[in-house]
Structure formats: structure tokens, C-alpha cells
Amino acid sequence: MVEKIQQVAQEIEAAQLTNAAELEQFRIAYIGRKGRIADLFDGLKQVAPEERRQVGQELNTLKNKAQEKFDQAQEQITNAAADERTTTAFDYSLPTVPNTLGTRHPLSIVRNEVIRIFGRIGFNVAEGPEIEDDWHNFSALNFPENHPAREMQDTFFLSQNKDKLLRTHTSTVQVRLMETQKPPLRSIMPGRVYRNEAISARAHMVFHQFEGLYIDKNVSFADLKQTLYYFAKEMFGQDTKIRFRPSFFPFTEPSAEIDITCMICKGEGCNICKGSGWVEIGGSGMVDPNVLASSGIDPEVYSGFAFGMGIERITMLKYQIKDLRLFTENDVRFLRQFENVM
Ligand code: DAH
């Protein structure tokens, strides 16, 4: 027995453990449950009882040595493998894992573009709440009580007395601006608006507008026209034409609707512009003296112009999008087309 132990001890000492395969062979041959050391432990029963203690101790020492050798070799082998990976196996010329960035929504692209265009001629940006009261959405804008003009906009009311509502246009922000700031005022007010309309290719109950307001001394209709000429050319291209059609809004006098040359047919006439060569992009006018007065601005001293346009409308014309519902459907095939547009 003692000889056997010595023999195994020599074998263990001599074993070469340089790779994972040798390591595994060694484990099975010596340390494993069916290995040589386990066999020797089985043989312990045949050893004379007075020697058993001594032999048992030697066997334990042998077992520990084998385990120690195994552990050391294993550590060396795994370290070497890790070194290999970091020094030679890593290919630094590999392309990086592609980073899938989202894309900006076309409505955000156009809103930012509007802000930039007007920013260049001195307009800053203002915002107001989407939940409004009757005053800011109607009364301060010169909509008389029970006037049919209130019915022009299908309002979502939030209270029985109709004083809390979802704003139907961004003109509300004009009022908030005039109430809190002194002229000269020159702002662009983009935002979301709500109307009780059936959803279709051309209409939605939630959409976006931007309002423009310019109040100072001696502001004229010529200033309004020039500002919107500039905007249309910057937004749609230098050969875009613009025209003003007389119209009515309670908060402006005189009022005009704004048309630009149809982007689809370049003014030739097509089914989008119903053969006229023109498409409407918004409303505008000189701020009604009543509106100035009810917000605390003296109409004898100051005058100004305002305009309001639909962001969906402009985006559809600019990118020739035929269905408004595409903006809210989150179809990546649609959204990805704006990947390289800033
Ligand atoms: N608020 C109007 C609408 O939602 C748009 C508008 C027309 C805004 C004329 C204006 C304006 O500031 O002067 O239909």
C-alpha cells in the first residue's frame, strides 16, 4: 500500500499539465471519483487496523497534493488563454457594433426648421398650456359670446360650464404673451392643438400649429407680407410664390388666408390643389385693436400682425405626404425616410 502511494505520488509529480486536455485527463486519472486516489482510499479497508491511521494520513496528503497541482495548472492555463485573447486574438480592425439610432420625426424636423427660419429674422420661441380657458381660446381673441365663429372650431370642452377646454389653436399663446410682456413682441409659438374632428387622410383630432406675432410701433400689412414671403421661400424653395386671399378671423382685421404654389405640380394644376396651382398654408392678418386692448396693449400706440399655420400641412406639402395618419402610426418604414433630413 505504502509503495502504491509513493508510486502514484511520483506519477503526479511527473505529470505535465500544459493544456486543457492534459488537465482533464489528469483530473479523471487521479482526482475523479473513479481515479487512482479514490481506488487507494477503497484499499484502506484491507490495511491492518494499527497502520490504517498512518496510511490514511499519507493518502490525504497525496490527495491534497494532486488537487493543488491541478488548481495551479488550471489557473496558469486560463490566464494564458485570457492573455492570448487580449494580445493576439482580438482584431482591432473589426467594425464596431452598429448603433441603431432613432430618427427625428418629420413634424419635429419641420417645427425646428420653422423656428430656425424665423429665428434668423429676430423671432424668439414662446409656448403655452394645452389645457386652456375660454378667455385665452376665445374671448380675448375677440370671439363674441354665442357668436357662430366659436362653432367654426369643434372644441373639446373639459367642464360643464365650457370654461376649461383643450385649445383649438395656438392663437391662445398670443394672448398670454401680450398679457405678460411689453412690446416690441416678436415670437413664434409652436404647439399641439385639438379639435373634435373625425380622423381621415386630411384631418385629425390632434395636430400641430405655429403662431407668429409681431407687435411694435408702425407695423404694417407690408411687413406681414414680406415676412411670409421670406418664410415661404426659405421653407419651400426660392421659386415658391405666395398669395394672400381676403378672409375673416375674429382676431385680425384685415385678415388673409395664405396660399403658396402647389409643390406637387409646381403650379400647373393637379388633384392635390384641385387644378388651381395653389394650396392654402394658413391664416394671417393685422391684430384686431380689440385684441390688443383686451390684453392691455394700447392700440393707439402699437399695431402688429399675426399668422397661424398647420405644421402637418407644411410637412405634407414639403415632403409630398398624402395621408395625415402616417404621422401618428409609428411605422418605421415611413419614419426612416427622414433619416438624413435635418
Ligand atoms: N387660429 C387660426 C386657426 O386655427 C389660424 C390663424 C389665422 C392664426 C389668422 C392667426 C391669424 O394668428 O392671424 O385656424
Using the structure block, give the residue that is written with the C-alpha cell 419614419: 335
**pTM of this structure:** 0.71
CA of 302 to the centre of ligand 1 (A): 20
- Tens digits of residue pLDDT in 253-275: 999 999 999 887 888 888 778 88
Average pLDDT of the residues in 45-50: 88
Residue range 59-86: mean pLDDT, rounded: 87
Nearest atom, ligand 1, residue 170 CA: 1
> pLDDT (tens digit, 9 = 90+) per residue, 112-144?
999 999 999 999 999 999 999 999 999 999 998
Above 70 in pLDDT, residue 247?
yes
Cβ–Cβ < 8 Å for 272, 262? yes
Ligand 1 close to Cβ of residue 133 (< 6 A): no
**Cα maximum dimension of the chain:** 125
* Total Cβ atoms within 10 A of residue 232: 21
171 CA: nearest ligand 1 atom:
1
Distance CA 185, CA 187 (A): 6
Q: Which is higher by pLDDT, 147 or 262?
A: 262
Burial letters for 148-159: b for 16+ Cβ neighbours within 10 Å, e otherwise?
eebeebebeeee
Residue type at position 295:
S
DSSP secondary structure code for residue 13 in this structure? H
Of all protein residues, the one whose alpha carbon is nearest to atom 12 of ligand 1 is 307
**Ligand 1 atom 13, closest CA:** 284
Could you tell me if the CB of 308 is within 6 A of ligand 1?
Answer: yes
Distance CA 193, CA 208 (A): 6
